[in-house]
Amino acid sequence: MPCITPTPRLRWDIFCRVIDNFGDLGVCWRLACNLAGHGQTVRLWADDVSALAWMAPQGSPGVEVRAWTTPLDMSGITPGEVLVEAFGCEIDAEFIAEYAKSLNRHTQKCAWINLEYLSAEGYAAGCHGLPSPVMSGPARGLIKHFFYPGFTMDTGGLLREPDLIARQTRFDRQAWLTGLGVPWGGERLVSLFCYEPAGLSDLLDSLAHGVQPTRLLVTDGRASAAVRAELINKNRHQPHWNRGEALSISYLPPLSQTDFDHLLWACDVNFVRGEDSLVRALWAGKPLVWHIYPQHDSAHEVKLDAFLDWLQAPTSLRAFHRGWNGLERPAPSLQDAPFAPENWQDCATQARASLLQQADLSTRLLNFIAKIL
């Protein structure tokens, strides 16, 4: 079992800027809760906390959420012992100046973490833990450290709650679906969380023509808007596309993060996107398809390939990902890249099992902080 080097109870300030979508806040919220679960006191600063109203309606003991305003309201605030800048956001100079002063006062070492995005590319292990001396401003002379989440032992790992597997084992999918008002008669369940994927029309056709009945559980927001738009298009141009009604669709309300996990546990196949939901789909251990966050310079293609390499994805899953993410022009046809989740279970099972052998991200972060303090 992975062990934690005894870490003092520390006060943490995690800073998060919401760029778009929910992933930045979603990751920071989970990190804050995981750390609080280890007895740490966490203040989460975010410039837009609105999504927490549905993502985490109950809050969490040990986590205080603060609005990250400009200028920053520092009244009554003493910086904690550990600073986390998530995803390259920059903490305000006045906060850093106070932090530097408190380090001097308490002759404490600097514990300032730059938490990076998740990637399976080789640079994550290469750069994980590297120091970055601050050359100017109120923090001159202090040292930040890079912390890279990742899929291997030589990175910062993945967020995972200590009780996750126990909760998953006890999970009752029929009861959960009933509670959500989803009518389920034993058909295959597929969750859909995506942006506007190139392969959406093909997927809907494939499910509609399948021999196995399928219920698509569509998450709120962009996924639901994309499906509704596609259905208008199909109903107009191919009114009989789902004539046998092999495909049924349920649109979901916004779920809490806890219920989002339940959704992934309930389904037989999970379509996920971004960063946090990908990790949660790995813990669910079902066949998964990733809609990667698109970047203008096509950096996402390399990132996707690195992930599929790590996953040891079979050829059919790799081909399906290219079509789903629109990475072929023209995208591979359904015959070339069919939806074949029965061939994708083994790699998902193996990935989950191998990840469970590794320590989770907050355990590794606590060990790292204990080393640098």
Interface positions with ligand TRH (CB under 6 A): 19-24, 26, 55, 117, 193, 219-220, 254-257, 260, 273-277, 293
Is the CB of 8 or the CB of 59 nearer to ligand TRH?
A: 59
Q: d(Cα 107, Cα 103) in Å, to the nearest integer?
A: 6
The least distance separating ligand TRH from the CB of residue 3, rounded to whole angstroms, comes to: 28
How far apart are CB 291 and ligand TRH at their closest, in Å? 8
* Residue 72 in tokens: 């920053």
> Which residue number, 139 or 351, has a Cβ lying nearer to ligand TRH?
351
**Residue environment code for 322-345, b if the CB has 16+ CB neighbours within 10 A, otherwise e:** bbbbbbeeebbebeebebebeebe
Q: Which is nearer to ligand TRH, 99 or 193 (CB)?
A: 193
**Considering beta carbons, is residue 56 or 111 the nearer one to ligand TRH?**
56
CA-CA distance, 280 to 264, in Å (whole number)? 8
Supply the minimum distance, in Å, between the C-beta of residue 23 and ligand TRH.
2
Smallest gap from Cβ 164 to ligand TRH, in A, equals 14
Calpha distance 87→20 (Å, rounded): 13
Q: What are phi and psi of 276, to 5 degrees?
A: -65, -45
The CA-based angle 126-129-130, given to 5 degrees, is 75
Burial of 90 (0-12, 13-18, 19+ CB in 10 A): exposed
Sign of the CA dihedral 267, 272, 277, 282? Answer: positive
Give least dist CB 113 to ligand TRH, A. Answer: 18
Q: Are 218 and 192 in contact (CB under 8 A)?
A: yes
Structural tokens at position 340: 């074949």
Which residues does the annotation mark as catalytic?
24, 275
CB of 243 to ligand TRH, least distance (A): 30
Cβ nearer to ligand TRH, comparing 57 with 131: 57
The CB density around residue 139, as the number of other CB atoms within 10 Å, is 22
Closer by beta carbon to ligand TRH, 139 or else 348: 348
CA distance 42 to 307: 31
